[in-house]
Amino acid sequence: MKKQLAVTAALAGITLAVAGCSATATSGPGTAVSTPGMTAPPTASSSAASTGWELKPQGGGDRIKAAGLQVLNAEGAAEHFHAHLDVLVDGKPVAVPADIGFSFTPAGQPNGISALHSHDKSGIIHIEAPTAGATYTLGQFLTEWGVLDGTDPTPGTPHSAQDGWSVAVNGVPHDGKISDVVLKAHDEVVLFHGAAPVPVPATFTFPAGL
């Protein structure tokens, strides 16, 4: 199901049409509810203490390019599927932010989108590309998020190196670099540091329409 989100880029004076997936579901274990649309720019600050996992809108476009992807004017329709990501540190879940894979103006207004992005905090990863056949990886998504970039020497922190992190896809441990995991339709991807969760989630119930 598609909906249109008109976003004004104040500095460029152009309008960006972003078609976002939407679905209606009841919140509960193994389900997720996607947000109808972005009504306000995201912010890394909140009343809660910063964890380091929050998304910083500044530099979003640069992170998309660093992931080897393009900043698009709208979501594509040639390739359209979804995967789900859980992140855990020592058994504690980490929230996957909304609006990963968006670029923003200095005023905080969205003015671009990657084919690989998130719309809400459900952990659902959206792949909506203008051309079919390309592969998209967990490493690219982490780069767009701006985490596990190796800038903090403390293992298991938001900006630690990826060494020491493990990943399972559909309940099966991935043998290799976590960044190399290729995202496929309805994959359940579990990224964790420390002991593996017991049991490792093997599936995720997507809302109807996804």
pLDDT tens per residue, range 141-157: 999 999 999 999 999 99
> How does the average pLDDT of the chain come out, rounded?
82
Identify the bridge partners of residue 128 per DSSP, sorted by sequence position.
Answer: 80
- The structure tokens 């905080």 sit at 108
Q: Which of 86, 108, 106, 104 is nearest to 96 (CA)?
A: 86
The amino acid sitting at 19 is: A
pLDDT interval class at 170 (50, 70, 90): very high
Q: Flag whether pLDDT at 39 surpasses 80.
A: no
Please work out, in degrees rounded to the nearest 5, the angle formed at the alpha carbon of residue 185 by the alpha carbons of 143 and 84: 55
Token pair of 91, please? 């058994």
Distance between first and last Cα of the chain: 8
pLDDT interval class at 61 (50, 70, 90): very high
Answer for the pair 24, 33: CB distance below 8 angstroms, yes or no.
yes
pLDDT at 20: 55
What are the φ and ψ backbone dihedral angles of 66, each rounded to 5 degrees? -65, -25
How far apart CA 171 and CA 122 sit, in angstroms, is 19
pLDDT at 204: 98
Q: Say which residues have a Cβ less than 8 Å from residue 9's Cβ, sequence separation at least 6.
A: 15, 16, 105, 109, 111
How far apart CA 96 and CA 85 sit, in angstroms, is 8
The amino acid sitting at 57 is: P
pLDDT at 50: 80
Q: Which of 3, 11, 178 is nearest to 103 (CA)?
A: 11
71-84 per-position pLDDT tens digit = 999 999 999 999 99
Q: Flag whether pLDDT at 10 surpasses 80.
A: no
CA–centroid distance for 137 within its chain: 11
106-142 per-position pLDDT tens digit = 988 999 999 999 999 999 999 999 999 999 999 999 9
The amino acid sitting at 41 is: P
Task: Tell whether pTM > 0.85.
Answer: no
Token pair of 129, please? 């590309």
